[in-house]
Chain A
């Protein structure tokens, strides 16, 4: 699975309250959630984001609440991949379960700039900043996690495994 897009860059400890504020959790509908994604730290995000764009952030991305609404909101916004130094563990698990591609790559974080065009190959873990020409290696996920992503999340994966 290959993705390519423009970078939205954020700092360390991006918490689930800023990814999707609790006041908007009265609905879990992705169409509703994407309207409010990142609004407390980047009010224009929802208007600027294009399908395929990539989010790049520092350490402990997705800390805070267990709300699965957070990766759902990011995915519904059209973000094709989140690259971070590391992820808070509940977010990490939720992202995989809802089929939001993520990669951990501390060295890429300091080098990739806001607005750069980045390509990534989810199968190999290779991340390329097309704007600067630099490449980085993130650790690729094992096969079953890649399959969960390819099925759009754990539910689709479980369904396809049950049929197989």
Chain B
């Protein structure tokens, strides 16, 4: 039976020759992931299970990023629970704040060369779907599933059917992967891919950078998808040859290709050259508009960062726009490099100086304001243009605050203009 990429990865990890949509399978996991919010409840469940050791200390990833550096005593206690467990279990991929490997989970896990094509990963964070950009299968779960997976290194899945997104053409200047995924979500709705895979294909893929693909897959969850996945091409191989030269040289990865005659529940054709600079207005990521149609919307804050848009390319794009310009007097702009590596590169490239000269706040890597945790929470009536992933009611602060989602070029331009705006207006 012909299979999609996702189905092939699942079949292989379940030891089966083939799988079909709807099959319930038990699959072997290459990695399991948790963060400072989801891991402490998982540790409690893990202890209730009566298991002494995790299935593989090198394959359980514990990343503190949501409320770090700890915002209050309770979050410090959460982190302490995770830190003590990680030390006790000798977890390899637990890092302290400030270390070169450290940062936001979905920024550092691909960038540290942990995930390679063909891997199967679950994570107790909904944006775990990010790694599909590398041709792996990754999806989000809750703390109980995380705990059981930490114990056994396996979990069960229902094999998803797939939607194929066929890309042609190439993106215009300043238009990014973020604009593409917002347009897909706008087209099919926040439940348009519920329980399904979003599989990307077509010659348009080659015009998307790896950072752009990571952004696209990161937000697959925002249309309900189980996972988003890109085929492996030269761009992927070049990326992993840099992130993990050793495993790349040894060929320790597997390239899966969808069968020509694989079945899809829906095919969406997108000409990348027709994607405009886009924003998603409150309070759903599907509520999209052309950025150029929202120029009367004044703003109080801009956030540039997160697991969606805190990568090197994102921070570099922001620096290019802020160079020689100033943040509008009514706006505070918070720039959050997604990892210590991105932070250091931004320092070496002179970008931090540009941000500082422009009047931006430069934050340590953290999820912080994206989920209304800290480092930029909004007051009643305030409005923020943000490169993050959700604009739900109360997401970044007060229930009467508003988040407008965009890519980096629109966010940076808006910070300078004091309202929603685009780079051509600067």
Task: Mark A residues whose CB is within 8 Å of B.
Answer: 13, 15, 17-18, 21-23, 25-28, 40-41, 59-60, 63-69, 71, 86, 88-90, 93-94, 97-98, 153-155, 158-159
Contact pick for B191, options A86, A90, A158, A159, CB 8 Å: A86
Identify the stretch in B40-48, B170-178, B293-301, B320-328 within 8 Å (CB) of chain A at 4 or more residues: B40-48
Asked whether B140 lies within 8 Å of A18 as measured between CB atoms, the reply is no
Kindly list chain B residues whose C-beta atoms are within 8 Å of the C-beta of A69: 41
Kindly list chain B residues whose C-beta atoms are within 8 Å of the C-beta of A93: 141-142, 145
Interface residues of B in 382-398 (CB under 8 A from A): 390, 392-395
**5 A–B contacts, CB within 8 A, in A order:** A13-B191, A17-B393, A88-B194, A97-B142, A153-B144
Kindly list chain B residues whose C-beta atoms are within 8 Å of the C-beta of A59: 191
The residue of chain A having its C-beta at the shortest distance from the C-beta of B37 within the complex is A25
Give B168 Cβ to nearest chain A Cβ, in Å.
30
Kindly list chain A residues whose C-beta atoms are within 8 Å of the C-beta of B390: 15, 17, 64
Asked whether A66 lies within 8 Å of B38 as measured between CB atoms, the reply is yes
With A18-B394, A65-B126, A68-B41 given, is the CB distance from A86 to B194 under 8 Å? yes
Smallest CB-CB A-B distances: 8 pairs: A26-B74, A68-B142, A94-B142, A60-B191, A97-B144, A22-B371, A40-B394, A66-B126
Query: What 1/0 mask marks residues of chain B from 114 to 125 whose CB sits below 8 Å from any chain A CB?
Result: 000000000111
Asked whether A63 lies within 8 Å of B144 as measured between CB atoms, the reply is no
A56–B356 Cα distance when bound, in Å, is 50
Kindly list chain B residues whose C-beta atoms are within 8 Å of the C-beta of A28: 40-41, 44, 143
Give A144 Cβ to nearest chain B Cβ, in Å.
10
Kindly list chain A residues whose C-beta atoms are within 8 Å of the C-beta of B49: 155, 158-159
Most A C-beta atoms less than 10 A away, residue of B74, B144, B373, B394: B144
Q: How many residues on chain B are close to A (CB under 8 Å)? A: 44
Asked whether B372 lies within 8 Å of A21 as measured between CB atoms, the reply is yes
Asked whether B191 lies within 8 Å of A63 as measured between CB atoms, the reply is yes
Give A47 Cβ to nearest chain B Cβ, in Å.
17
Give A45 Cβ to nearest chain B Cβ, in Å.
14
Kindly list chain A residues whose C-beta atoms are within 8 Å of the C-beta of B140: 66, 90
A80–B389 Cα distance when bound, in Å, is 32
Asked whether B37 lies within 8 Å of A67 as measured between CB atoms, the reply is yes
Residue B72 at the A interface, CB < 8 A?
Answer: yes
Residue B334 at the A interface, CB < 8 A?
Answer: no
Give A79 Cβ to nearest chain B Cβ, in Å.
17
Kindly list chain B residues whose C-beta atoms are within 8 Å of the C-beta of A18: 392-394
Give B316 Cβ to nearest chain A Cβ, in Å.
29
Contact pick for B392, options A17, A25, A66, A88, CB 8 Å: A17
A90–B226 Cα distance when bound, in Å, is 8
Interface residues of B in 120-139 (CB under 8 A from A): 123-126, 128
A65–B128 Cα distance when bound, in Å, is 10
A95–B66 Cα distance when bound, in Å, is 23
Asked whether A68 lies within 8 Å of B394 as measured between CB atoms, the reply is no
Kindly list chain A residues whose C-beta atoms are within 8 Å of the C-beta of B347: none
Kindly list chain A residues whose C-beta atoms are within 8 Å of the C-beta of B377: 23
Give A59 Cβ to nearest chain B Cβ, in Å.
6
Residue B319 at the A interface, CB < 8 A?
Answer: no
Give B318 Cβ to nearest chain A Cβ, in Å.
25
